[in-house]
């Protein structure tokens, strides 16, 4: 199947088309980010974010360009955004630390109100996770509650690594949709 056919099918929520687009472009995007970041963990995270954003905005894809070019643009922008956030965060932290008038110690212990809000949010998230298909519940539990790596999940579920990445991507997207409904 040709790329434009796959994109057309993916726009119609064809999961096989998503999988093929992901599999055929993963290495390219990952290697691109690995060269930029020098970190396999950061490269993997930005690559996953790239596909998440691309698949969420697939209807805005301009067929005048190749799909890889579009993915690279998204990936590059995500990396630049991340660098800006880090630079901003580091600038605030370093300027606050150097200013002797800001030596007031602030408690990092959450207030009772903050604890209650956090617990309510966690309860709502857990309810929404329970509403997902069992396959997605399991994969999210392994990833976020048991802190398994993608490779560990792949071994545990006896599925290829790229399949696990796509399933986590889908599960996160479905969970985000359900949380927006709240």
Q: Interior CA angle at 17 toward 66 and 165, to 5°?
A: 95
Kindly state the tokens that stand for 95: 């300027």
Residues 6+ apart with CB under 8 A from 83: none
Q: Which helix (H) or strand (E) holds 107?
A: none
- In the predicted structure, residue 124 carries a pLDDT above the cut 80: no
Res 158: pLDDT: 92
- CA-CA distance, 20 to 1, in Å (whole number)? 10
Residues of CATH 1.10.1740.10 domain(s) within the chain?
3-100
Of the listed ranges 58-72, 79-93, 111-125, the least confidently predicted one is 111-125
- CA-CA distance, 72 to 63, in Å (whole number)? 15
CATH 1.10.1740.10 at 3-100, yes or no: yes
**Helical spans, DSSP H, in 38-111:** 40-56, 67-98
Res 31: pLDDT: 93
For the stretch 30-43, pLDDT in tens is 999 999 889 888 89
Residues of CATH 1.10.10.10 domain(s) within the chain?
107-181
Res 155: pLDDT: 93
State the CATH class of domain 107-181: mainly alpha
For the stretch 46-64, pLDDT in tens is 998 899 888 888 888 888 8
Kindly state the tokens that stand for 148: 């398994």
Residues 6+ apart with CB under 8 A from 124: 179, 182
CB atoms within 10 A of CB 140: 20
- In the predicted structure, residue 147 carries a pLDDT above the cut 60: yes
With 0.85 as the threshold, say if the pTM is over it.
Answer: no
């Amino acid at each position: 199947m040709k790329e434009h056919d796959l994109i057309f099918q993916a726009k119609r929520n064809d999961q096989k088309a998503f999988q093929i687009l992901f599999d055929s472009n993963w290495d390219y995007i990952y290697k691109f980010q690995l060269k930029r970041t020098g970190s396999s963990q950061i490269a993997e995270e930005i690559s996953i974010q790239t596909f998440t954003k691309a698949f969420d905005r697939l209807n805005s894809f301009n067929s005048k360009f190749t799909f890889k070019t579009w993915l690279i643009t998204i990936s590059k922008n995500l990396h630049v955004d991340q660098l800006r956030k880090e630079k901003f965060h580091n600038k605030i932290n370093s300027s606050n630390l150097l200013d002797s008038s800001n030596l007031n110690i602030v408690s990092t212990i959450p207030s009772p109100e903050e604890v209650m809000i956090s617990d309510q949010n966690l309860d709502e998230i857990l309810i929404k996770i329970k509403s997902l298909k069992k396959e997605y519940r399991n994969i999210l539990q392994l990833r976020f509650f048991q802190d398994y790596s993608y490779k560990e999940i792949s071994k545990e579920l006896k599925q290829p690594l790229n399949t696990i990445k796509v399933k986590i991507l889908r599960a996160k997207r479905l969970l985000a949709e359900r949380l927006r409904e709240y």
